[in-house]
Structure 1
């Protein structure tokens, strides 16, 4: 007898995110899609002789997580590079760079790293002088954890032709000592001065990084990612290499994770010339959406604020070079919008967020209402009066809760208590009617949904100083966080008809958890494990 369905998953506690059937016991899958959700008896009756049986053993099942904001190649590449994220002192930073350099051939660039000076005592930015002696034969270009600030060693600056006479660039900053000599620090647009001389990755390097990223994603129950690509002048070319890598691995049968890959707004004409709109592709890979930048980051003191930073009275951050020319920026937004290319804009500071909301409102004023799925990535620091505008303008807040428990260690030193009160204002946004889409911003933060949900529901900072939560009134419930990490993220990429909930017709992507997070103290959620990941009805080993 031929099997009636390919797979039945029985004896579970299935959280469907389908309002018509919120919970169930079992799922049936045929041809990569869900054909039925119901009781064990109902679903078992659909099994034939060749049907695969997955015993859920009473475990909690949720829709597979959809990370709404990742940098997939960067994250995968970083898994094999020097690890600086948990270095807690200058000496540990130097020692790790030195140890890694000893393993690399002369001439190879040392990249990634993800250092965080806020973890050091004293807090201070690194200098090329720290590492020149231990990296004489390797150019070094290691990034701060937010990706908006880099450290170059002397060799890297020599290869890039950067000297004390190199001027700053619009939208960027070169760190200098009191004599005007470059310290090795490069912020935002200034990064292009060095990145233009770094060799592009080979196909083999792209494939290795993507496969490492895929393993990490599936181990963590992430079956869909929204790849925000790269920053800088060469972002589009690098993202094109990565998209070719996705296609290459798909053709080889080695790719499973579902990817929505975004290109820079400045390169939107490339897509328009080919008639490519949002979600051109298939269930595995789509392109056609765009990303813009309004400002930098809080950690790098380049986020654009109304008022100066408390710890840097002469600095209120700055807009990107893109946004420094608002009419030209709006013209690109409007051209993309009219062509059907959905837009997401990175905005951190309160002035950056206000400005982007103003420009999004202008799109509707000039071109009329439409289902645009406009997004603000991070929506990090908001004026109270701008919070309700997200719902009013139908702007999706694409947020990363782990940043709140990380930045919460030191953010008030930079912006003070009053401005911090509407920082990472997840609950206020939701209560005002906004749509939230959750993500990690991996490589910047771990691509681990349990840590993300823990952060969203507890807001306990990583230093342990806020056990009741940093601004606890902004905590989400577990149900709200899971919804935003599944349905919300699918909606944000205009794919809610394909995924986000467990219902007939949807892709058969779901995750089995070690514990029932809906009946667990949120403080314990960070310790919950992924037991199994199922993508398209295929069981992946965590």
Structure 2
């Protein structure tokens, strides 16, 4: 890494809060009011000056390198605020069922995997969905003869349902007499009461506990391989919905004695690691608090599930599903339990990220946050940045409550366009208030954006495109979906930058291009603030810089 570098002749959108902006950093004039610059001076891992070329030069002494960006656009580094990093890394070694449109195609791919597997070895797949399977009914018997000597588990795209064969059920000891766990569903044949092989929500751990845990070394190698790809997408940081395995892997990868797993430029990624609910008591006992760590790896919020997901029909709704009047979804927890969990976490200095997709779950999460009086650390020093993950369907009466309770809406814009047809079918007229990014913003709610990878690809550019146009990249000629919920480009970019930094309590060190901030920024092929919004989808990341180090380079940022 060069000790001192000036990047000049650039089109820089700093996203830095300037005079005239509101407390969320938005310009009254919209995108035209975003603070601009043409040069950045970097020393070591920090930005020391932002302005014109002369400003950058006057901030450095001694030798420095100069990089002419030839008018290219620069924005702060993107943070994916909701990603399952280990799941995403491991999916490349599993059977890919994404976009599979028939049960027979699933069987075909399982047969192929069985030929490549030893007898008794688990076959693991991912990505199937009811909507893609043309309303077919997945069943264990459909998998049994595809791989009769191998237990099979297939994770749905939303990861809220699994499809297993009879051998897997037997290994887990699940039969007609096994009761549904609280907050979970073992789907059963209506005539025989035998399990069909579909398990939803809190029933999934019954299978997960008998699946061999991936080898720790394999997990390290998988994550090491995927980090360079994240750099290619302009990602400089993530909020990882992981567990003790992924946290352990990340700590080892950050240790000096594990650098042999990574090439020179592939390690740098700022990680905010969430705490799974089953580790809350241990975290409290150890005195671990949200914010422990450093700019490389820090402890994030407690992750707690309130409901399921749209694709599995388990998102908890105030009114029944339009396509299934007998279904209102599944609550994974009671309000009393949730309130107690949030209270205990808050008193111990741990913020909360509550997974809530349906409007009933969102209301339950807001009620619990309000009743628990979460929001301050026990020493009353800095606020706890609590958040609701997904918030895909929000009752209009609950919109203002996010802001009044200072709760962040952590949303994945790409879900709005990926799920649009499924939402129209399941929610009917309610889909008009689905994925309400504009409504939340207008009610003063802080937004933080992510992808939910591996559910979707962790591509911030596509997320920005979805937030701004409410279109799918493969349906550009089609009308946007409920475009009254579109955001401006500035608002969308802030979701991945300043909003992301606030969500992890790092707004003082990252998220904008300003003196004293970490030198994390991205060079883009197009000015996404001024091009036709449809062109945003084709914008490429040309370079990514993390802590002053060039980690992805398509334009010779490092020189010859």
TM class by shorter chain equals: over 0.9
Aligned to 1:208: 221
Cα separation, 2, equivalents of 1:150 and 1:353: 24
**1:329 correspondence with 2:341:** no
- Cα deviation 1:136-161 (Å, max 9, x = unaligned): 33322111111101111222222212
Q: Is the 8 A contact 2:476 2:534 kept in 1?
A: no
Q: Is the 8 A contact 1:66 1:439 kept in 2?
A: yes
Contiguous gaps of at least 5 residues in structure 1: 230-238
Of 304, 307, 331, the match for 1:292? 304
How far did 1:304 drift? 1.0
How far did 1:51 drift? 2.9
Q: Is the 8 A contact 1:400 1:440 kept in 2?
A: yes
Partner-residue secondary structure (3-state), 2:373 = helix
Change in 2 beyond 3 A, CA 1:459/1:35: same
Aligned to 2:138: 126
Aligned to 2:250: 246
Partner-residue secondary structure (3-state), 1:42 = helix
Q: Is the 8 A contact 1:266 1:332 kept in 2?
A: no
Partner-residue secondary structure (3-state), 2:204 = helix
Q: Is the 8 A contact 1:276 1:288 kept in 2?
A: no
Cα separation, 2, equivalents of 1:432 and 1:365: 21
Partner-residue secondary structure (3-state), 1:248 = helix
**1:387 correspondence with 2:399:** yes
Cα separation, 2, equivalents of 1:453 and 1:117: 27
Change in 2 beyond 3 A, CA 1:296/1:462: farther
How far did 1:476 drift? 0.7
Q: How does 1:216-227 map to 2 (within 5 A)?
A: 216-227=229-240
**1:477 correspondence with 2:488:** yes
Cα separation, 2, equivalents of 1:127 and 1:183: 5
Q: Is the 8 A contact 1:379 1:399 kept in 2?
A: yes
Of 140, 152, 156, the match for 1:140? 152
Aligned to 1:437: 448
Change in 2 beyond 3 A, CA 1:181/1:360: same
Partner-residue secondary structure (3-state), 1:280 = coil
Q: Is the 8 A contact 2:343 2:374 kept in 1?
A: no
Partner-residue secondary structure (3-state), 1:421 = helix
**1:165 correspondence with 2:177:** yes
Change in 2 beyond 3 A, CA 1:247/1:365: closer
- Cα deviation 1:163-222 (Å, max 9, x = unaligned): 222221111111222322222111000001111111112221210221133122111111
* TM-score scaled by length of structure 1: 0.92
How far did 1:302 drift? 1.0
How far did 1:316 drift? 0.7
Of 504, 516, 519, the match for 2:527? 516
Q: Is the 8 A contact 1:408 1:461 kept in 2?
A: no
Of 335, 343, 349, the match for 2:352? 343
**C-alpha root-mean-square deviation of aligned residues, in Å?**
2.1
Change in 2 beyond 3 A, CA 1:391/1:78: same
Q: Is the 8 A contact 1:173 1:187 kept in 2?
A: yes
**1:42 correspondence with 2:40:** no
Q: Is the 8 A contact 2:389 2:410 kept in 1?
A: yes
Aligned to 2:28: none
Aligned to 2:328: 316
Aligned to 1:12: 10
Q: How does 1:263-282 map to 2 (within 5 A)?
A: 263-282=275-294
Q: Is the 8 A contact 1:461 1:470 kept in 2?
A: no
* Structure 1, 350-359 or 99-108: larger mean CA deviation: 99-108
How far did 1:349 drift? 1.1
Contiguous gaps of at least 5 residues in structure 2: 19-33, 554-560
Q: How does 1:357-396 map to 2 (within 5 A)?
A: 357-364=366-373, 371-396=383-408
Cα separation, 1, equivalents of 2:552 and 2:375: 50
Q: How many residues align?
A: 525
Q: Is the 8 A contact 1:271 1:288 kept in 2?
A: no
Aligned to 1:232: none
Q: Is the 8 A contact 2:413 2:463 kept in 1?
A: yes
Aligned to 1:115: 128
Partner-residue secondary structure (3-state), 1:454 = helix
